[in-house]
Chain A
Amino acid sequence: MSSTVADGAAPQRPPAIIVSERSLFWRRFRRHKLAMAGLAVTLLLYLIALLAEPIAPFDPDHGNARLVYHPPQAIHWFDGGGLRPYVVAYRLARDPATLAATYVPDPNREVYLGVWVKGDPYTVWGLFSGSHHLFGPLDPRQPVFLLGADRLGRDMLSRIVFGARASLSIGLVGVTFSLLLGIIFGGISGYFGGRIDWAVQRVIEFIISLPTIPIWLALAAALPKSWSPLTTYFCITLIISLIAWTELARVVRGRFLAIRSEAYVTAAWLDGCSQARIIFRHMLPSLTSHIIASVTLAIPMMILAETALSFLGLGLQPPAISWGALLKEAQDVNSLAEAPWLLLPGGAVAITVLALNFLGDGLRDAADPHGS
């Protein structure tokens, strides 16, 4: 603190370090180890979704009728004293007693794996095309199923990687819609208060009281089957966010109510600020960190909602790939008994939801300076 100031009581204790609110926020966030891990996992997942084509080893729609329900193969890392990863190939055999077809490992046939190998051709986002994949079999004709194959002999790993695209983006797009609605209605409600607040809150309560799944089902059922997967996708997102905005609106309203009575907001009003300036320049910046935190916590809800809808067959329809649509395959108990790896997309959902929740917790704690 400057010593030129005639502020009596000599210098204050530790010299003040000049840091902005943002760097304070980041400093508090970094202390939260679990949230840092959540951030890393979340970023990785979104990177995978963004670059699904080169990351997935195969084309997700490329099936092989002779490789139906092929079991997962474990990677062996060393061969002949050196690092040379390979998987043991399986061959189809018949049980002599029941005559059922089963896959048995064929120890003499090894399929060697490599990094950045040539495989199925692809085009990323219509921008550039290629045929190299992050990893895969050295011989592109050899099938490798690290997470098994589905009912049509398609690679589950590739399908899960592609499914991330729809499932993760539906979270983001849906939250953007909800955020817009939430900030507008929550902001109006909290800033103006009184009767407007009363009306908005009753509407929100009405929406919250609606039984969610039947409403989703009804709305989803109303979508024409003839629509393209992309249109359906956006409609599903809208349907989900139409209900999810209420929570965000409540958070925003609560914050607005709290900040509205702060002396610096009164000061801004007395300075002659317009209402728009008070809201956007003085109130919203104090809310951003809280809003980011609630948004992060809202994304997993969206992802779960999409998964639930698609699982019930009312969300994204094949050939569109999402985690929910993949899980639909696991509805049948018989096929599940035969191929338990069909549940793996559920694992991907769980990891994503956990990572986002940890991230959101960390952001929320960092946004609240009175927390610790």
Chain B
Amino acid sequence: MEARLRRSDTLLQVCNLRTVFPLGGGTVLAAVDDVSFTLQCSRTLCVVGESGSGKSMTARSIMRIVGPPGRIADGQILYQAQPDRPPIDIAKLHPRGSAMRAIRGRDIAMIFQEPMTSLSPIHRIGWQIGEPLLAHGLADRKTAHRRAIELLRQVEIPDPEAAIERYPFEFSGGMRQRAMIAMALACGPKILIADEPTTALDVTTQAEVLRLIKRLQIENGLAVLFITHDMGVVAQIADDVLVMYQGQVVERGPVETIFHSPEHPYTRRLLDSSKKLGMAAPPARPTVAATARTLLQVRDVALTYPGQATLFRKARPPTPAVRDVGFDLYEGENLGIVGESGSGKTTLGNCLIRVLTATAGQINYRRRDGAEVDLVTLDRPGLRLVHRDIRMVFQDPFASLNPRMTVEQVIGEPLLVNRIMSGTVLSRRVGELLAQVGLPRDAGQRYPHAFSGGQRQRIGIARTLALNPRLIIADEPTSALDVTLRGQILDLLLELQRSLGLSFVLISHDLGVIRYFCNRIAVMYRGQIVEIGPADDICFRPREAYTQTLLAAVPEADPRRRNLLSAA
């Protein structure tokens, strides 16, 4: 019988860990560079940093699942399996050896960011949860089955007896992540590594999953290594924090110290950026003159996907993606559309610019000459003219730029195809546009892949500006970017708005971003606008229950105000 671990006993000690990837030519890239930390029973260590900071690679090194050619070059990962025995150095074990396999999944379990791709689509949930038990020889088929039901009940999945017979695609994102957690807990691990487990989830689901992890930690005395880029989540759940930057630890300490007396300038920048877009920060939105004229009138817009009949199946009832949406947009105004995934906000944005055609309703756009046109029924030549005025900024800065064209060609494309300018005049204009979005003028000769995510988003913005637009529809323009870049991109857009007299429709799931940027907010839920009004009314005096739930689920970036876990 093993001696019981007590609270705050050290379970895992990582010393000077270095994980490298050979780059060719004898040089290596240190993805994890001289990282040390300890994990203790019943405590949560949050590893925070931007993309590429090596936080996931640290977790993968502990699990020994670093993909080749990456390898652990140096350091120790001491795992204290039992308090009275010498620790095991995981870094010395063979990644596929039996000693490592005995620890992986049984003593140290991991959950991943994307619950859809980390669950097998062809096996039933119950089978997948029971599998680690069978693999480690801890149970036979029957016991594994019983245990799977029990685990699903623990992770608060309703009707677990029925749920174990389901497939992952029958579950929602939050349910899948719960199933993932159940799977990780199957063998009763001592350490749980969670790699951005809530990043792919909606904010309300995120709050539930965070609460669940906390509860399971208290019940089972787990040591949790929680990886995230979201300072709000850190503030809510961390006991200790490790701040990583370019593979190295720049600061570590208790959560209270990190948030209230940070020392490293990078930590401070990270906190400032997330505070800037927090709910308590002063917003930067423009003021709209009371005399402003309407730019866009949206009336009863709906988009319904017909249920398609095939040879073997009768038509399903049509699915409405957007229903009865109506609002006015004034000149110089920023309207925010906020909602969770599947709420129809992106569909609505695409309808406004006619990438999708609404199946009902009117979208009346008042042109520069004062004439009104209905975008729902406009023909292609008319639409081409409107598309000079209404432009779009895309979510993914990698997919929205043609990889085979130079930056100058990308930005100059709308000017060229609309026969506005060409040749040296065009080059000069592209140079101006690049300068306007804060990129060097000579960037035009390079291809998009030579730029970072934030720079690419600037290129995308330069492209929208090329035709002197009046309205820009920005669909999650910052969600693919690191938190320190988000504020910068929003500030750039606001600055352009002041100098060019633009209006914006900003679509986002992030209330902080919306509140910072928008005068008015429309809250969407299941294809409908449930509430629309001035930004401060929505954020501080919400009337609808759904808006209130949404607001309550936003994690506050302050460990002294744990709004999410107070209920637990």
Contacts and interface: CB of A to CB of B under 8 A. Distances in A.
Interface residues of B, number: 47
- Interface class of chain A by DSSP: loop
A272 interface: yes
A9 B458 CA distance: 15
Interface in A8-38: 8-9, 12-14, 16-21
Nearest to A263: B400
B451 to A, nearest CB: 7
A286 B403 CA distance: 8
A282 B417 contact: no
A12 B395 CA distance: 21
B29 A1 contact: no
B455 A9 contact: no
Nearest to B412: A271
Nearest to A24: B449
A209 interface: no
Given A9-B484, A21-B404, A272 B443 contact: no
Interface size class of A (residues with CB under 8 A): 20 to 34
A33 to B, nearest CB: 16
Given A271-B463, A282-B402, A8 B454 contact: yes
B253 interface: no
A21 B440 contact: no
A2 B458 CA distance: 14
Contacts of B451: 1, 16
B417 A266 contact: no
Contact of B447 (A2, A18, A269): A18
Contacts of A286: 402-404
B414 interface: yes
B446 A9 contact: no
A2 B440 contact: yes
A326 B403 CA distance: 48
A14 B402 contact: no
Contacts of A343: none
B260 interface: no
Interface string B390-423: 0110111001111110000000011001100000
A181 interface: no
Interface in B374-393: 384, 387-388, 391-392
Contact of B392 (A19, A267, A285): A267
Contact of A264 (B400, B417, B482): B400
B246 A13 contact: yes
Contact of B23 (A4, A6, A14, A273): A14
A7 B355 CA distance: 31
Contacts of B384: 272
A91 interface: no
A38 B458 CA distance: 43
13 contacts: A1-B455, A2-B440, A8-B273, A9-B482, A16-B450, A17-B450, A18-B447, A263-B400, A266-B355, A266-B394, A266-B400, A272-B418, A277-B417
Given A266-B355, A282-B402, 14 more contacts: A2-B440, A5-B438, A7-B485, A7-B488, A8-B482, A12-B452, A14-B29, A18-B446, A263-B399, A266-B392, A267-B463, A270-B355, A272-B417, A286-B403
